[in-house]
Chains A and B, each alone.
Chain A
Amino acid sequence: MSFLIARSIDDAVAAMAQGARPVAGGSDLVVGARHGVDSLPDDLVAIDRIRELAQIEVNTDGCAIGAGVTHARLMVDETIVRRYPGLADAAALVGSPATRNVGTVGGNIMNGSPAMDTGAPLLVLEATVELRSEVGTRTLPIAGLWTGPRHTAASATELCTSIFLSTPRDRSSSAYVRLEYRRAMEIAVVGAAASVQLNDDGTIAATKIALTAVAPTVVAISVDLIGRPADEQALAMVAAAASDQATPISDLRASDHYRRHTIGVMAKRAFDAAARRAQGEHIAVPVNRTLGIGASS
């Protein structure tokens, strides 16, 4: 049993090369251990004091979010809220204020839960993930990160160091909504993220939709809306595509039947909010609270 507090990424990946598991907020690691999902690793390396991991860097190409940035910071960061509101929508719904203060975006995506909130918005924003080990650094599209429930393409010696998002195009935006039964300490029953880019005439130039908690991983779905207006018919197409392409299971929280229905509802609401934001409408983060979705007032 060992516990090392890393001061730098080099420290952290060196410890991981020796078999240590990284811990930032511990909100998945410790909860998982207490519920018998996994026992606590013998060797831990704490990465929450590595300054480099806690930065949000913006340049002309886009925005690099350190893996150690907390949900509490993501949900209010000016760049994230303005340019990537779908990610802020998701961060604002994670757990409770206490969870958001310790939980990190890197932890959320590397835990690999199909019910993670930040996964779907990062997928529609076409994020790339930087993984670092003692051997070197590689980047991969986030769509290639998740290989199954709680499994990622990263090896045990690779640390997720940052997540990169390209500068959004004009007249584009994003949104994330989820079905929730209560307003804190909740896990997405189902969830959906959408990014929408509009042409000057208001028709759809590009759109991406991703679903939470209806498949072994967060998944993108395809629906051909290019050239159409973002109207009721488009919303119906999004809902139908999401319900058709979802492969939900039944568990304590919902039946597969109910999930298949509600994922359509969440997908169309996410698409609608993203399209309205792309048109310039201000819909405050998170969409769930602002538009009264699920257990919102």
Chain B
Amino acid sequence: MATGSETPAPYPELATNCVGDQGVAAWAGPQFSCHAVHVRVDRETGVARVLDVSAAHDSGTILNPLGALGQIEGGITMGIGQALSEGTRYDDTGRQLNPGLLEYKLQTAADTPTVRTCFIEPGGEGAGPRGAKGLAEAPNVATAAAISNAIAQVIGQPVRQLPMTAERVWLTANELLHSEISNGTGGES
């Protein structure tokens, strides 16, 4: 193995300037997305339910509309699970306590909200062939944060841990209630 400070060997011809064999630069056309959610919180129990999600995605030209729509709806459902119910739990010895789908709570079809999707096309500078850009994981990046912001708006402060289980939401809401009482501002908002 070589050591020292020699000049490294040049990259193969096709990869100069970080381009693939199509001559297209990776990462040159970043995608953008924004999710807005409508959440209902049962204040007495902390149970939150996502009623509607609107998703706007700039993924450039959409080459496969049905596939892209499915990617967004699936990603959002995954994001809701991440936000509210999905979390691995371990005992003191590192053994997973919820290794099956009975206790590791995925969102079900019955929980899935109405999802409205808007594709922003075309995606501007730096896109790939025919103006396409990425989609991939973007549909579940914004969802949990949007749900967290919505819950914070209802109960007065954000829940600082995922998933935002009903118990955590209830505890967070109650700490606020107690601190308000101790500050003399009183009452639930």
Contact = CB atoms under 8 A, between A and B. Distances in A.
Interface of A: 31, 35, 96, 179-185, 187, 189, 252-255, 258, 261-262, 265, 292-297
B181 to A, nearest CB: 17
B188 interface: no
A181 B108 contact: no
Contacts of A297: 40, 49, 51
B174 to A, nearest CB: 9
A295 B167 contact: no
Of A31, A255, A261, A292, the most chain B CB neighbours within 10 A belong to: A261
B175 interface: no
Contacts of B105: 181-182
A295 B165 CA distance: 11
B45 A262 contact: yes
A181 B166 contact: yes
Contacts of B109: 184
15 contacts: A31-B102, A35-B100, A96-B110, A181-B47, A182-B85, A183-B110, A183-B111, A185-B102, A185-B108, A189-B166, A252-B98, A258-B167, A265-B45, A294-B45, A295-B111
A184 B166 contact: no
Contacts of A96: 108, 110
| Interface residues of A, dominant DSSP | loop
Contacts of B49: 295-297
B110 A181 contact: no
Nearest to B48: A295
B180 interface: no
Interface in B100-122: 100-103, 105, 107-111
A294 B101 CA distance: 20
B89 interface: yes
Of B44, B85, B100, B103, the most chain A CB neighbours within 10 A belong to: B44
Given A179-B47, A252-B98, A258-B170, 5 more contacts: A182-B105, A182-B108, A261-B170, A265-B44, A297-B49
B40 A182 contact: no
A22 B78 CA distance: 39
Interface residues of B, number: 27
B137 interface: no
| Interface residues of B, dominant DSSP | loop
B103 A294 contact: no
A159 B100 CA distance: 31
Interface string B176-187: 000000000000
Contacts of B89: 252
Of B42, B45, B101, B103, the most chain A CB neighbours within 10 A belong to: B45
A21 B84 CA distance: 39
B156 to A, nearest CB: 19
B18 interface: no
A45 B114 CA distance: 45
B54 to A, nearest CB: 17
A53 B110 CA distance: 31
B85 A252 contact: no
Given A35-B102, A258-B170, A262-B45, A183 B51 contact: no
B89 to A, nearest CB: 6
B42 A293 contact: yes
Contacts of A254: 167
A294 B100 contact: no
Contacts of B97: 252
Nearest to B108: A184
Interface string B23-38: 0000000000000000
B100 A182 contact: no
A292 B100 CA distance: 28
A252 B89 CA distance: 8
A295 B107 CA distance: 11
Q: 3 smallest A-B Cβ distances: which pairs? A: A183-B110, A184-B110, A184-B108
A179 B170 CA distance: 13
Contacts of B40: 292, 297
A44 B85 CA distance: 37
Given A258-B167, A293-B42, A184 B103 contact: no
A96 B101 CA distance: 14
